[in-house]
Chain A
Amino acid sequence: MADLTESRIEAQSATRPAKRIKWDQIGDHAILIAGALLMLVPVFMIFASSSWDDITLHREGLQFGFSDDMANNYNAALFEYGGFTDSVNGVTMLANSLILGIGFAIGKIIVGMMAAYAIVYFRLKFATLAFWMIFTTLLLPLEVRILPSYEVITWMNLGNTYTGLIVPLIASATATFFFRQFFMSVPEELIEAARIDGAGPVKFFIDILVPLSQTMIAAMFIIMFVFGWNQYLWPTLITTDESLFTLVRGIRQIMQAYADGSSTPEYGEAAALAIIAMTPPVLVVVFFQSWFVKGLTESDK
């Protein structure tokens, strides 16, 4: 008997170290959870609120629970024409946002890739200087040069067009930088093999470099799409025609009604629109996530 209890005690003391509470891990997780909550709770509140009617929202603010106006609000957000001219609904705005996001991302990728190609593969006299000049434009985001850009676009009569919306934004130091780093890691011998195989500059770019850059392109696409999708200031300046409004602007437009004092703002619809505006970037990130990580970390060719 004595033997048995002793061994049991021993067994207990042997397992104890494994069960010791790891305070530092708990601390880490607490911070992570707090951070996640900080990000997610507002999203959840907007989502919950998008199921309430305007009056309640106006009186009591954002809601945590669900009500039964969900279908109404989303229907209104997507299909009800609004604005001063009644010429725009949620679907149009969604389409506009997609055009802006995709056009912006593709434009940036094309321009960035071509700039990087020129800098890395051609013996330009001032390639390094050119690169650093492009790089320093990172210090000059759109907000800094917004007035001259606006001047140029109106002078070219591109106000209220998709071209005017997208083109001024697609020169990209970030994309150029990432593609440059990637191209520089492509082995020299591959280029030489291609030269011997008779691939000129254009063929080499299209047949070899673009396929090799796939993951990088995907990563850039995500970043740039989300960035373009979230543009607010530039579309506000350049589009006065409501049929060109993007979702991000549309939300504001709804809230604007309140400031005008004309009627109760359509809070429910605004919340629904906010959720709709959030969805595509989330989907893009979720679907391209694995590519994204690969593109930014993988250097193995």
Chain B
Amino acid sequence: MANVKLDGVRKVYPNGVEAVEPCHVDIPDGELVVLVGPSGCGKSTLLRMVAGLEEITDGTLYIGDAVMNDVEPANRNIAMVFQNYALYPHMTVAKNMGYGLKNRGLPKAEINQKVAEAAKMLNLSEYLDRRPSQLSGGQRQRVAMGRAIVRSPELFLFDEPLSNLDAKLRNQMRIEIRALQQRLGVTAMYVTHDQVEAMTLADRIIVLNAGRIEQIGTPGEIYSRPASTFVASFMGAPPMNIFTGTSDGQQATLDGGVSLNGAGAPSQTGKIQIGIRPEDVALDANGALPFDVDIVEELGAHRLLHGRLSGQPFSVSVGKDEAAQTGPAKVALKPGAVHFFDAEAGRRL
């Protein structure tokens, strides 16, 4: 068990790309942190620096209070699960799982016992003599998990471990991973670009954008108080509506003339950006805001209405029982529905 600390850790690849800007992260013992962000934002790079597979350009990495910058991956007491499983194709499941222990020089009996234990935990006991090519995708993923578990690491690292599985299996494995991590109480870093996976798995989420950390917070914080327009539109489905507008210090007005009465306003005056989540709005005949609905999208449990508010694109999510049709409608804001961001950088105000 160990806490992890990144102190100004930064990565510049030899070709000059700054994949990760200097970042500060503190992960307490036993926490599962999810790194999330769009493709190419540097999630894998950050994880691989923690694993020791990629050199750290600047800054210091601590695992359990020890500086790890120049420690070989094998000696960091970590375990990593890869997207493509990375199982050794010529070894049986048992050998795959035991290979790391064998290299550590553990006696055979102990290896066998640990492998059997992990296999039992993962329902792999009957497959121990098979080769990876004789397993299904989900089973291979489990073997990769097993290989990580048998090493009794202080830190689990997952790089999009579920992205090769179909949706149903992904949900199931997600729950399994979470349960396993909690049972073992091992600190974990988990990379994904799937925001649902991030929300459901994480104790805390780190949102990355173009090599920069946009926000670190619990799923609840990320959702209810996004630190920037990027986080606001990246986390949450459907994404938050972002409007341009102005503030006079008392009241915010959308470009196009509609004022948001009673929603408050930032102290900053002038041009701002205004965010409203589709689910924080209700259809209401007495509502103050005029909404022109162009399209109704059926999603089963709820419907998405796409249209215009004050001349700007706007989406509203309503329950499946509410009547919804195209044409002019009125909507009302739920309390706390409006988020303010500054106009240029998009930081929360």
Contact = CB atoms under 8 A, between A and B. Distances in A.
Interface of A: 187, 189-190, 192-199, 203, 207-208, 211-212, 214, 301
B73 A189 contact: no
Contacts of A190: 86, 88
Nearest to B144: A193
Interface in B99-116: 99-100, 103-104
A189 B82 contact: yes
Contacts of B72: 195
Contacts of B295: none
A203 B78 CA distance: 20
Contact of B103 (A192, A197, A214): A197
B320 interface: no
A193 B90 contact: no
B288 interface: no
A224 B86 CA distance: 32
B276 to A, nearest CB: 42
Contacts of B103: 197-199, 203
A189 B83 contact: yes
B334 to A, nearest CB: 46
Given A198-B75, A198-B104, 8 more contacts: A190-B86, A190-B88, A192-B73, A194-B88, A195-B53, A196-B73, A196-B74, A198-B103
Interface in B67-81: 72-75, 78-80
A198 B84 contact: no
A195 B73 contact: yes
Residue picked from A194, A198, A214, most chain B C-beta under 10 Å: A198
Contacts of B8: none
Given A192-B53, A211-B90, A198 B82 contact: no
Contacts of B100: 196-198
A113 to B, nearest CB: 16
A198 B101 CA distance: 9
Interface residues of B, number: 23
A199 B100 CA distance: 8
Nearest to A203: B103
A212 B88 CA distance: 9
B34 interface: no
Contacts of B90: 208, 211-212, 214
A207 B99 contact: yes
6 contacts: A190-B88, A193-B80, A196-B78, A196-B79, A196-B80, A208-B90
B82 A192 contact: yes
Given A207-B99, A212-B89, A187 B73 contact: no
A193 B82 contact: yes
Contacts of A195: 52-53, 72-74
Interface string B51-76: 11100000000000000000011110
Given A192-B53, A301-B89, A197 B99 contact: yes
- 5 A-B pairs with the lowest CB-CB distances in the bound complex, closest first: A198-B74, A197-B100, A189-B86, A198-B103, A193-B86
A187 B86 contact: yes
B123 to A, nearest CB: 22
Interface string B91-105: 000000001100110
Nearest to A207: B99
Nearest to A212: B90
A201 B67 CA distance: 24
B128 to A, nearest CB: 18
A143 B147 CA distance: 53
A191 to B, nearest CB: 9
Contacts of B83: 189
Contacts of A199: 74, 99, 103
Nearest to A190: B86
Nearest to B53: A192
A196 B84 CA distance: 15
Nearest to A213: B90
Given A196-B73, A212-B89, A187 B84 contact: yes
Given A189-B83, A192-B82, A208 B74 contact: no
Contacts of A187: 84, 86
Contacts of A301: 89
Contacts of A208: 88, 90
B191 to A, nearest CB: 14
A300 to B, nearest CB: 9
A196 B86 CA distance: 11
A49 to B, nearest CB: 48
Nearest to B95: A207
A27 B85 CA distance: 51
Contacts of B147: 193, 197
A203 B102 CA distance: 11
Nearest to B83: A189
A196 B99 contact: no
A189 B47 CA distance: 14
A158 B147 CA distance: 51
Contacts of B99: 194, 197, 199, 207
B201 to A, nearest CB: 22
Contacts of B79: 196
Contacts of A203: 103
A199 B147 CA distance: 14
B71 to A, nearest CB: 12
Contacts of B53: 192, 195-196
A203 B99 CA distance: 11
Contacts of A189: 82-84, 86
Contacts of B88: 190, 193-194, 208
A196 B47 CA distance: 13
